[in-house]
Chains A and B, each alone.
Chain A
Amino acid sequence: RKEVEQDPGPFNVPEGATVAFNCTYSNSASQSFFWYRQDCRKEPKLLMSVYSSGNEDGRFTAQLNRASQYISLLIRDSKLSDSATYLCVVKAAGNKLTFGGGTRVLVKP
């Protein structure tokens, strides 16, 4: 079983709609969680951290469920520019980040 698993998608989303997807992690001792965004043929960039109480950044909302060991990302009012691959990232002890395989989102007009 992979340490961090994601549905690869693609999630085809009409412009203006809401899309949500999850990521599961296997290490119960994981300490920190993040979502990175990666555009096609570009490098990954930090989108947002995921806090225990959940957090929101504009149209993006991240949630953490430690009991079930998953994190989620919700995008409201999707824009064409939201089309990208979203990488779930988990940090265990020792500052090592483990990346999931990514969830591809395609926002269409």
Chain B
Amino acid sequence: EAGVVQSPRYKIIEKKQPVAFWCNPISGHNTLYWYLQNLGQGPELLIRYENEEAVDDSQLPKDRFSAERLKGVDSTLKIQPAELGDSAVYLCASSSPDRYNEQFFGPGTRLTVL
């Protein structure tokens, strides 16, 4: 079974530029999460989707961050414009309806903003 797929794996951009990350969850997993992880810290939830509905986006900085999951499968997270402090690893995770407790993470996208 394929795991959570994320792309790109690495991204280097200059500040004020836009950037987008893509995630394909495990087949059949209707819950999708985007996390941000800074070096030496644990993942912090940005947004959680149940199918195509964003059920928790309270930690998403909506002035510059946006996300979508139009068909309830793939998801895209966008930052526009990026700031120096956005440099981090962006992790996508998914879970199945009967096993909410176990989240399966993708390899992450490592963003560097110069």
A1: chain B residues within 8 A (beta carbon): none
> Can you list 30 contacts pairing A with B, beta carbon distance less than 8 Å?
A4-B42, A8-B40, A32-B101, A42-B107, A43-B106, A43-B107, A43-B108, A44-B91, A44-B105, A45-B105, A46-B101, A46-B102, A46-B103, A87-B42, A87-B43, A94-B56, A95-B31, A95-B48, A96-B45, A96-B48, A96-B56, A97-B45, A97-B103, A99-B43, A99-B44, A100-B42, A101-B40, A101-B42, A102-B40, A102-B41
Bound-state CA distance A8–B106 (Å) is: 24
User: Which residue from chain B places its CB closest to the CB of A2 in the assembled complex?
Assistant: B42
Interface secondary structure of B, over-half rule: strand
A95: chain B residues within 8 A (beta carbon): 31, 48, 100
Task: Tally inter-chain residue pairs, CB-CB below 8 A.
Answer: 42
Report whether B105 and A34 are in contact in the complex, using a CB–CB cutoff of 8 Å. Answer: no
Interface bits A27-38 vs B (CB < 8 Å: 1, else 0): 000001010000
Residues of B within 8 A of A (CB): 31, 40-45, 48, 55-56, 91, 100-103, 105-108
A4: chain B residues within 8 A (beta carbon): 42
The bracket for how many chain A residues form the interface is: 20 to 34
Known: A49-B101, A99-B42. 12 other contacts (CB 8 A): A8-B40, A34-B101, A43-B106, A43-B107, A44-B43, A44-B91, A46-B101, A94-B55, A96-B48, A99-B43, A100-B42, A102-B40
Residues of A within 8 A of B (CB): 4, 8, 32, 34, 42-46, 49, 87, 91, 94-102
